[in-house]
A and B are shown apart, each in its own frame.
Chain A
C-alpha cells in the first residue's frame, strides 16, 4: 500500500481540566473507508474527531492526517479535509445567503490574491446541487429549516473538493427529506473515492453507506468492526464490562 492512512490517531489523551475525555485512543482510517464513530452523549466521540482535526489540544499521543503530523499541518493538507460541524457557528448576526456560506468553503482552494475563477464557481454550484439546494443559493440561510441548514454546511465542505469528509452528528434533529438528500450526497462522495468519518448518535438512512464502526464509551474505543446491531445495547457482547453504570449511562444510546 503506497498511500498513508488518511487519519492516524495514536494513544490520544484529551483532558479538560481534571476531566479526562479521551483516555488513550488509537484509530487508523484508510483511504476510501466510511467510518462511523458511535457513542452516547458525553462519551468522547466528538472530542475524538475534534482532536483529530487539531481543534482541541492533546495532552498525550499524536495525530497524523494524510501522513502529516498535526504540528506542521500545511494548508495543502488542510484543504484536503472537509469539516461539517454540528451546527452553524454562533457568529451569524448578519444575514448570509446560502451561496455566500457555501463559497466560503472554497476559499482554501483559492489564493489570498487570486480572484474567483469559473472553476471555483462551478465547484460551488456542484456542491449545492449535490445536497439538493441548487435553487436556494440566493436565499438567506436563516430562512432554511434545520435540516436544510445542515445540508448547506455539507455543501460548504464539498465546495473545497476534499478527500476526507468529517461530519459531527450530521443527522441530529434533521428531517427525513434532508436525511435522504444527505445520504445521496455522501454516497456520491464515497463513489468518487472519498473517505468519510461521521460522528453519530444513530445512523438512520446513512447506515448502508457505513463500512466500519467504532463505539466510544467513557473516553475509550470499546468496539471496532461492523456496525453493531441497533437492537439494543443489552444484546452486545461485553456490554456488562464496559457499562458498569448501565442504568444511568446507556439510555437512549441506540434508541
Chain B
C-alpha cells in the first residue's frame, strides 16, 4: 500500500504542493529585486506571531499572518529609506522577531520545545483539515496577487524609479508585495518551517532563471520546480522517514544543481559548436558595453 493512502500523508502532500506553488511565484519578485533573503527575515518576525497565538490561545497561523504583515510593511519602509543604517534596522527587526517568538512560546506553559521546532522547520505530517483550509484560502490570495498584478509588480521590481516617473502607484504596489510576502511565509510555515521558507522562495527561481528567457517564463518554471520539489520531498520523507521540510529544500537544491550544471554544459557545448563553425572574430562590439553576462 502506498504512503499516500494515509489521510495525514495526503494532507501533508496537499499542503506542501500549495507551498511549492506559491513560494516561488512570490519569490520571483523578491529575487528580481535582489531581496532574496527577505523571506527569511519575515519568517523570523512571524515567529513572534506564532508565540502570541500560542500564548493567547488563538490559531497561530492567524496571529503569524498579522505580525508578519506588520513586520513586512516595516521592512518595506526601511527599504524605501535606503540608507546604510537600514541594515541595522532590519537586523533589529529580524532578531527581535525570533527572540520574541522563542520568549513567548516558552511563556505559554504547556507548550514544549518540540512545538517550536515544528514551526521553525515545518511539520507537514501534522497538517489538519483546518490548517489545509487556511492554507488553500491564503494560497489562492497569494496566487491572485502574484499572477494578476504581474505586469505592475514586474514594472516596480524591475525599475522602481521609472515606475514612479510613469505614475504607477509604486507605494501601494510595494506594500502589496510586502504583505503578500508575509502571507506566503505563513502559508509555507507548516510545510517547510519559518527558517526554511526563504529556500522555497529562492531556490526554484534560481534554478528557473538558468534556462528561462523572460520574467513570466522564469516564474512559471519556478512554480513547476517548486511543486515537483515539494511533492518529491514529501514522498521521500514519507518513504524513508526523513525530516519533511528539510527534505523538500534539499530536493529543490538538487534540482538547482542539476539545472545549473546541465545548462552550463549545454551553453559550453553550443559555444564550442558555434566557434568551430564560424571561427573567432564574431565580436561586433566591445565587451565592456555589455552590461550582464
Name B203-231 residues within 8 Å CB distance of A.
205, 209, 212-218
Would you call A248 an interface residue if the criterion is a C-beta within 8 Å of the partner chain's C-beta atoms? no
**Contacting pair B154 A96 (CB below 8 A):** yes
B contact face: mostly helix, strand, loop, or mixed:
helix
Would you call B129 an interface residue if the criterion is a C-beta within 8 Å of the partner chain's C-beta atoms? no
Distance (whole angstroms) from the CB of A74 to the closest CB of chain B: 8
Interface size on A, residues (CB 8 A): 46
**Contacting pair B289 A94 (CB below 8 A):** no
Name B105-153 residues within 8 Å CB distance of A.
151-152
Would you call B282 an interface residue if the criterion is a C-beta within 8 Å of the partner chain's C-beta atoms? no
Chain B residues with CB below 8 A from A81, complex form: 165-166
A91-B33, A93-B31, A94-B215 given as contacts; is B291 within 8 A of A53 (CB)? no
Would you call B157 an interface residue if the criterion is a C-beta within 8 Å of the partner chain's C-beta atoms? yes
A90-B34, A147-B289 given as contacts; is B168 within 8 A of A108 (CB)? yes
Interface size on B, residues (CB 8 A): 41
Distance (whole angstroms) from the CB of B289 to the closest CB of chain A: 3
Known: A90-B34, A101-B158, A107-B163. 18 other contacts (CB 8 A): A87-B291, A91-B34, A91-B160, A94-B209, A95-B217, A95-B218, A96-B154, A100-B216, A105-B162, A108-B166, A108-B167, A108-B168, A112-B152, A146-B290, A147-B285, A147-B289, A160-B166, A175-B285
19 CB contacts below 8 A, A to B, read A73-B167, A79-B166, A89-B162, A91-B32, A91-B159, A93-B36, A93-B209, A95-B212, A95-B213, A96-B154, A96-B214, A97-B214, A100-B215, A104-B151, A107-B163, A107-B168, A108-B167, A142-B293, A146-B288
Lowest 4 A-B CB distances belong to which pairs? A78-B167, A146-B289, A89-B159, A97-B214
